[in-house]
Structure 1
Amino acid sequence: MKTRQTTQLVPHTVDGKTRLIPVPVDTPAPPRDWDALVLNGVTAIAAVVLTASVVWSTASIGDLLAHAVVKPAAYGAAVVFDLAWIACMAVEWLARYDEDRAVLPRRAGHVMLVLAMLAVAAHGKVAGYWEIGLIGAAVSALAKGLWTVVLRHQTPPLDARTRAWIQGELADAGASLALIPVRRQLQRAQAQVAAERAAIESRTDSGSADPDRPDEAADDPDADVLAIRPGAVTTKDAVRIAWDTGVRDDDAAARYVAKVTGKAPSPDTVARYMRLLRNGVAS
């Protein structure tokens, strides 16, 4: 039996104190995984074939386009033909657990592969060697076919119920991600509304806009001003609104919280929320 040397932690006591120390030990070596070796070899072959296909297609299509444009632009456009279907194939691999999402990149990859093959064949015809054009076009087909076989082999088969379960999990995760910008937009809107109301209250209190009529008491609220109801927002929400409107001082934030919530907040609570916002860890 083949063995290999590894380390194992064993207790060792010196002067009444025990520590775990690494000790070399011989353990049975696992058998060689020929399946993994073969798969790695096939993947390497597919990578070499893909590289050769990109080089050949770029050279052929670039030489064809060079008849009309300068060579740097021609070869820059030529490499797009193969990179397009390669990118579609990569997206198809990423969607391997969702067959519905993998259909579009698979079909798009086939269309882009046909366009690349037609361009290579056209170069052979223009050069006067249509046989070489057909053979060159087959190189791209062989590269994509080989990669399709490799990727399909590594795609685990899933039954319909498992695929439906995975789609449900992805839908939940997608909904959570979609709510992030929605919440940010809502917070910005709430902050703008709160800032506008605070500005209106400030102008009203100073008597610079819409003063009380002579028949109204000085302490009566104006009917046209929509004041924030006390208790409509929490201290944390009010601190967040003050922060979004540009308030950075703890005392100013406390005064704003008192105005919005209708009660004096704890200075320590306001300072803690402001500290979290400065550190960028407040939710």
Structure 2
Amino acid sequence: MKTRTIERTRLVPHTVDGETEMVLHREMIEVPAPPRDWDQLVRTAVTAGAVILVTASLAWTTASIGDLLATVTLPAVAYAAAVAFDASWIMCMGVEWLLRYDPARAKAARTAGWWALAVSMAAVGAHGYVAGQWVVGAVGALVSGLAKGGWSMAMRVHARPLDDRTQQWVNARRARLDGRLAMIPIHRELQRGQALVDAEQRALGVPEENGSADPGSSATPDALPQSPDSTVSPIRTGRVTTQEAVRAAWDSGIRDPETVLRTVRTATGKDVPQSSVDRYLRALRVGA
């Protein structure tokens, strides 16, 4: 039986000068070696082979179509454009892999990939025809087809097909989560729009519509609870700024900072700090 050496660690007591502490002890031991996973080795080889095929196809197609396009345009531009032919079906296969658990959406990527492959093979064949080497063009066109076939086989090796009921369960869970994800940008857009509306209303001096939807349920000055600051004119809560609330309290004859703070907090509906109120009061005293 084959074995392999591994390092094992454990805590052991160690005493120095009568003081014992737990320290880490390391030892090398022999354990049975697991059998070689040939399936994983073959799977890795298939994947590596598919990558090599796709890389070779991309290089060949770019060189062939680039040489064809270079007859009518700059070589740098021609070869850059030639990359798009194989890159298109390679990208479609990447999308197909990402959507492997969503067959309905993956079908569109699969169909687009085959069409892109056909266009790429036709362009390589056209290059051979123009060069007077139609056999070379036909054989060269098969390079992209072989590369896509190899990559398709690699995807089948890694795929995990779902039965119909499990697929329905996955679709239901995905739809619920996708709905929540879709609401994130929607909420962000609505909040951004509401902020613009509020800013426009403040700039034009139009009262903001932040009250209750039921007009009869809104508080009136008569319904406000009585407080020691009965000489202060009622201020509509949540619709004024801190500066406006301080100014209203000042105009009502209130000079005590603590009383002004209570009035401002009631008017704005916010936990306004004392420092902000004091700053506005100092400005009013200077201008008085």
What TM-score, normalized to structure 2?
A: 0.69
Q: Does 1:99 align with 2:103?
A: yes
The residue aligned with 1:13 is: 13
- The alpha carbon displacement at 1:226 in A equals 5.7
Find the partner of 1:80 among 49, 71, 84.
Answer: 84
The residue aligned with 2:113 is: 109
In the TM superposition, structure 1's runs of 4+ consecutive aligned residues that sit over 6 Å from their partners are: 254-257
Find the partner of 2:132 among 123, 128, 135.
Answer: 128
- The alpha carbon displacement at 1:229 in A equals 3.6
Q: Given the superposition, is the C-alpha separation of residues 257 and 61 from structure 1 closer, same or farther in structure 2, using an over 3 Å criterion? A: farther
- Secondary structure of the equivalent of 2:36? coil
- Secondary structure of the equivalent of 2:119? helix
- Secondary structure of the equivalent of 1:68? coil
Aligned residues of 2:264 and 2:272 also touching (Cα < 8 A): no
Q: Does 1:187 align with 2:191?
A: yes
Q: Given the superposition, is the C-alpha separation of residues 88 and 227 from structure 1 closer, same or farther in structure 2, using an over 3 Å criterion? A: closer
Q: Given the superposition, is the C-alpha separation of residues 86 and 196 from structure 1 closer, same or farther in structure 2, using an over 3 Å criterion? A: closer
Q: Given the superposition, is the C-alpha separation of residues 184 and 25 from structure 1 closer, same or farther in structure 2, using an over 3 Å criterion? A: same
In structure 1, how many angstroms separate the alpha carbons of the residues matched to 2:207 and 2:57?
71
RMSD across aligned C-alpha pairs, in angstroms?
Answer: 2.9
Runs of 5+ unmatched residues, structure 2: 219-237, 242-261, 275-288
- Secondary structure of the equivalent of 1:25? strand
Aligned residues of 1:60 and 1:120 also touching (Cα < 8 A): yes
In structure 2, how many angstroms separate the alpha carbons of the residues matched to 1:95 and 1:194?
42
- Identity across the alignment (%): 44
In structure 2, how many angstroms separate the alpha carbons of the residues matched to 1:42 and 1:168?
34
Q: Given the superposition, is the C-alpha separation of residues 180 and 225 from structure 1 closer, same or farther in structure 2, using an over 3 Å criterion? A: closer
What TM-score, normalized to structure 1?
A: 0.71
The residue aligned with 1:40 is: 44
The residue aligned with 2:26 is: 22
Q: Deviations over 1:212-262 (max 9, x none)?
A: xxxxxxxxxxxx856744999xxxxx8xxx9xxxxxxxxxxx99875443x
Amino acid at match of 1:173: L
Q: Given the superposition, is the C-alpha separation of residues 197 and 53 from structure 1 closer, same or farther in structure 2, using an over 3 Å criterion? A: closer
Where do residues 1-283 of structure 1 align in structure 2 (5 Å cutoff)?
A: 1-15=1-15, 16-195=20-199, 225=207, 228-229=210-211, 258-261=266-269, 265=271
Q: Given the superposition, is the C-alpha separation of residues 265 and 31 from structure 1 closer, same or farther in structure 2, using an over 3 Å criterion? A: same
- The alpha carbon displacement at 1:193 in A equals 4.8
In structure 1, how many angstroms separate the alpha carbons of the residues matched to 2:136 and 2:264?
78
Q: Rg larger in 1 or in 2?
A: 2
In structure 2, how many angstroms separate the alpha carbons of the residues matched to 1:188 and 1:258?
28
In structure 1, how many angstroms separate the alpha carbons of the residues matched to 2:263 and 2:28?
67
More off after superposition, 112-121 vs 179-188: 179-188
Q: Given the superposition, is the C-alpha separation of residues 21 and 173 from structure 1 closer, same or farther in structure 2, using an over 3 Å criterion? A: farther
Amino acid at match of 1:93: W
More off after superposition, 165-174 vs 85-94: 165-174
In structure 2, how many angstroms separate the alpha carbons of the residues matched to 1:41 and 1:227?
66
In structure 2, how many angstroms separate the alpha carbons of the residues matched to 1:97 and 1:182?
26
Q: Given the superposition, is the C-alpha separation of residues 198 and 146 from structure 1 closer, same or farther in structure 2, using an over 3 Å criterion? A: same
Aligned residues of 2:65 and 2:79 also touching (Cα < 8 A): yes
In structure 1, how many angstroms separate the alpha carbons of the residues matched to 2:161 and 2:124?
36
Count of residues in correspondence between the two structures = 225
